[in-house]
Chain A
């Protein structure tokens, strides 16, 4: 631990003691992940985040060749035990990667399956709301659990594994095996993995200027190491047996944003209701086919007579359905747990769309 870092951190913890809780804090202040769904680190306090990672259209054969291939499957009802004509396709994502952020200066994703730097970007990191949800609701915001990339993507891995040992790409040495990482004195990771008979250490760092990478590859042996990537400018900083340092210049230039434009609905539709049902997490607890789950099924719900834990009862009319989405704690149907469902604040026409969707199963 370096003295200057210690000083900085002590100052931070001093700040924490006096800071009122009402000011939302994030990782940069605290050193731990908070409710902030757009966490960022700093160069002094790198943020290492293991999560499902976005796939910015990497080449699945060349770059993700050690991954298996997902398939579309028939949709299945646990109520009937049957498959139907509906199809559930896979989505894009990297399952076992590590995302690292040093603030606006650099973000990168290094993958433990390919043992390879997959992409790097600046001016942002990962928007975790699809995975973590918000503080109050606690639910994800999409069907998948893949965070969204935001910022300026300047490097995208291409072709075979760029690290070559004795002129052979790691791709040609068989599936690499991830060993782990150590944090160096800057608290940044040095990844290690084996490929063939070689043990390789890899340290991606921010390079000179903006949007460059300085990569250090070492084996601890006497191998000749080189870095070759198609359509990528690579400058050798130093090369010796068993060790290579290169600077990689941008080979991509894509701006990503996680902001969603709020589309103001003009009318309530069944399609919108269905989309909300699938994307807001309703599907996790409410079946549409009468199957049991944490919440009541939608089958036969609209218009039915509901009996509540409070011993009162009423007909499930539109107002009741909307109330149950807006303020689910107001009435709890017998046989279900109180407080399971978070309240949803939506546009008025979104409630109406959901009501249309629920009524479909009347």
Chain B
């Protein structure tokens, strides 16, 4: 059944403002009574354009050069706010509508669909208007579905579809039903599995040629700017509401009220965070696969749902994450507001831009075509991070390349990460340009810019007052580079992680170094550690029973471990007491492998004997080495997730290592330890047994292990919290225990007890160096400590303070 509808061309116009010297903008006409509320756009293999409309129709046309002759035909009807569509073949499409993923087919070939198959409806629907879905193919017959959260600007129903959680209903944008705020994976076998969470309203999702997923997220709560994410498998993308559907977080209560530092630790930061002068809410990113659309092949375009502009993204991989620069690609008052989708034309010369505004602003919707006219637009062609600045190239040669250094200005700022809706630019800085270097001798060379004070966790704006050699001005003459991670200098000794039965095994320079062992003890430990000379650096017992010559004392001294004798009533130090608790890994947040250092970041629950969760920790362990040392850096945060955390004063705690028997300071023939080779020194000059109970920056045990030189230096970062800003208190024993304890009793000159108020966190940093020297002097510990003191923590976001807990402040009011 066909119902072709013709119409007269109403408003075809050609704009010739500055932007359109290079790009021609045309309206794609629609019948006057057909609301052009674009949910998605896609071409089939025959060049037919499918437009999925939000009221429920899918209409099809074959746009030619002359758009005034366009004819639209209804292909499908009866869809609920479809915001995602893929054309599988002519007459066969998949649409993600509010309630389900639907396969729609024209079986009899008359151009109109007659079969609507429910592929998947295993995600919920609360009745809220905001729970729209977008899709992209998985490359294997399935789809990734971006499931938007609900908004407090609308209600939910008494009768929702799928499981409902009251805690998920709380907050501004919320996830009352299953998997809102997720990207889920629908596989062609019909299964639906979670892929990533932490989204607010990722209206659009795209898969690039490498198979990576990209989406934006709408401005709003927990969004400082308009973020663009490379969707990280299993990652948390910052908006806490969806976490109620991830059972790994179940022990820690209501995600909206997690300690702020915990959320920041969990957050997989966006690749770009766009300010309001570029973007108000991103639609679906589109990868420019064609080289017929200007000199930007491989980059991405993303439209603005609340503006009349398109932003160009230049992502790159830095330190195992994606980030990069963004520039305004196109801004035009004639561009319709509310850009949500862009479909490239089959010939690659044009893009079809689809917009919709119904529901949030004055209607100005429809499809427009933007065609490249082969006049190169003058702008930054690429901008990538270097060790000390940026490399940039321009699309055209500069008029005055010699004056470039005077014509670039660099500033930076940060956005807040928190529950508020949006953020201004905070912590602003101007940056000096330290030098500009021409990187090649071509007519249009690339430039290396070195910048003063480059730091991670900031957005850098490079603005230009330059003209091209042909006299073109640059429109919106700036790029913004979201610098989440610094580029790291290459290192000869690469550190890699591989999974084993016991946990994660780290190698440095191709040789085994350390195993993060999550299965052998009642808490995560590191065991064994192999030093640069190839010897084992830790006592084996009790993790391995039959190693000769070891004393079998202190069964709880297991490798490198973290614990304390009493935290909120439970004993996390000893393993065999009536109140012994456990530390349970809930999530492997991140690993980085194969570069200058390997990194492991985990989330753990501290539970008492009864299984009640008392606190959470997040710990980041970095592993690296050189020809004569291996190093583990620990950054550790204890979070008061489940009430105040009461840490009582005991000598037995907290960050501990039990060394190889040979590094003991004293033999113990009754335990079978007849000869030892260890010496000890701390930064205060105390030696041997006298290092116990002293305050120092570091404690160093050294001597020989298995007859070869070896040592272990334990460094406490000078920023670690302590009473009266003192150095770390050390529980370091002559039998080979070295432990930094920030909660030792005051009567033995420790820091005493401490309470972490509910909703707060406390952080500590330590470094443990395993080296191949038998003398303190050769190991250069003072030098290493000075260097360690200067290394910053991984960046912490600016966050609004914890708002408090409703169960406390509402009760107080009553």
Contact = CB atoms under 8 A, between A and B. Distances in A.
A12 B6 CA distance: 11
Interface string B305-325: 011000000000000000000
B100 interface: yes
A90 interface: yes
A36 B118 CA distance: 28
Given A34-B34, A179-B117, A337 B421 contact: no
Nearest to A183: B114
B419 A96 contact: no
A25 B3 CA distance: 14
B421 A95 contact: no
B159 A342 contact: no
Contacts of B115: 180-183
B280 interface: yes
Given A32-B59, A78-B419, A98 B78 contact: yes
Interface string A32-45: 11111000000000
Interface string B102-145: 11000010100111111001001111110000000000000000
Q: DSSP class of A's interface residues: helix, strand, loop or mixed?
A: loop
B33 interface: yes
A292 B420 contact: yes
Interface string B348-382: 00000000011111111000000000000000000
Most-contacted residue by chain B among A21, A64, A73 (CB, 10 A)? A73
A349 interface: no
Interface residues of B, number: 92
Contacts of A253: none
Given A33-B55, A35-B33, A85-B810, A60 B158 contact: yes
B487 interface: no
B6 A178 contact: no
Interface stretch (B577-585, B747-755, B762-770, B799-807): B799-807
B1 A55 contact: no
The dominant DSSP class at the B interface is loop
A34 B35 contact: yes
Contact of B154 (A24, A34, A68, A143): A143
Contacts of B359: 133, 138-140
A144 B362 CA distance: 19
Nearest to B803: A81
Contacts of B800: 81
A305 B146 CA distance: 42
Given A21-B33, A50-B99, A90-B157, A339 B337 contact: yes
Contact of B170 (A16, A68, A73, A146): A73
A111 to B, nearest CB: 9
Nearest to B124: A68
B159 A68 contact: yes
Contacts of B172: 76, 78
Contact of A9 (B3, B32, B118): B3
Interface stretch (B161-169, B404-412, B435-443, B777-785): B161-169
A53 to B, nearest CB: 10
B1 to A, nearest CB: 5
Contacts of B170: 73-74, 76, 83
Nearest to A285: B360
Most B CB within 10 A of own CB, among A30, A71, A178:
A71
Contacts of A288: none
A145 B59 contact: no
A9 B280 CA distance: 44
A13 B71 CA distance: 12
B77 interface: yes
A239 B307 CA distance: 60
Interface string A7-19: 0010011001100
B420 A81 contact: yes
B221 A30 contact: no
A353 B114 CA distance: 51
B7 interface: yes
A312 interface: no
B102 A9 contact: no
Interface string A151-166: 0000000000000000
A50 B79 contact: yes
A136 interface: yes
Contacts of A85: 810, 813
Interface in A187-223: 187, 189
Contact of B160 (A95, A112, A146, A287): A95
Given A30-B5, A32-B77, A50-B78, A70 B360 contact: no
Q: What class of interface size applies to chain A in its complex with B?
A: 35 or more
B155 A91 contact: yes
B507 to A, nearest CB: 44
A55 to B, nearest CB: 7
B156 interface: yes
A294 B419 contact: no
A78 B98 CA distance: 26
A94 B157 contact: yes
A138 B363 contact: yes
B603 to A, nearest CB: 22
A31 B162 contact: no
A67 B121 CA distance: 13
Nearest to B115: A182
| Most central of A47, A80, A180 by chain B CB within 10 Å | A180
A76 B153 CA distance: 11
Contacts of B129: 52, 131, 140, 144-145
Contacts of B511: none
B326 interface: no
Nearest to B2: A9
Given A91-B127, A95-B159, A178 B121 contact: yes
Nearest to B220: A78
Contact of B155 (A31, A51, A90, A187): A90
29 contacts: A1-B110, A13-B4, A13-B6, A21-B7, A32-B57, A33-B53, A48-B78, A49-B56, A51-B80, A68-B160, A70-B126, A70-B164, A70-B169, A74-B806, A79-B420, A81-B419, A82-B809, A89-B155, A90-B158, A91-B158, A94-B159, A112-B100, A138-B362, A178-B121, A179-B117, A284-B153, A293-B421, A294-B360, A340-B337
Given A17-B6, A52-B127, A136-B363, 11 more contacts: A21-B32, A31-B5, A52-B80, A64-B159, A68-B161, A70-B126, A91-B156, A187-B1, A291-B420, A339-B361, A341-B361
A-B pairs, 8 with minimum CB distance: A81-B803, A48-B78, A67-B159, A50-B80, A96-B99, A68-B164, A180-B117, A138-B363
Interface of B: 1-8, 31-35, 53, 55-57, 59, 74, 77-80, 97-100, 102-103, 108, 110, 113-118, 121, 124-129, 152-164, 166, 169-172, 176-177, 220-221, 276, 280, 306-307, 337, 357-364, 418-422, 800, 802-804, 806, 809-810, 813
Interface of A: 1, 5-6, 9, 12-13, 16-17, 21, 24-26, 30-36, 47-52, 55, 60, 64, 67-71, 73-76, 78-85, 88-96, 98, 112-113, 131-133, 135-140, 143-146, 178-183, 187, 189, 283-285, 287, 291-294, 335, 337, 339-343
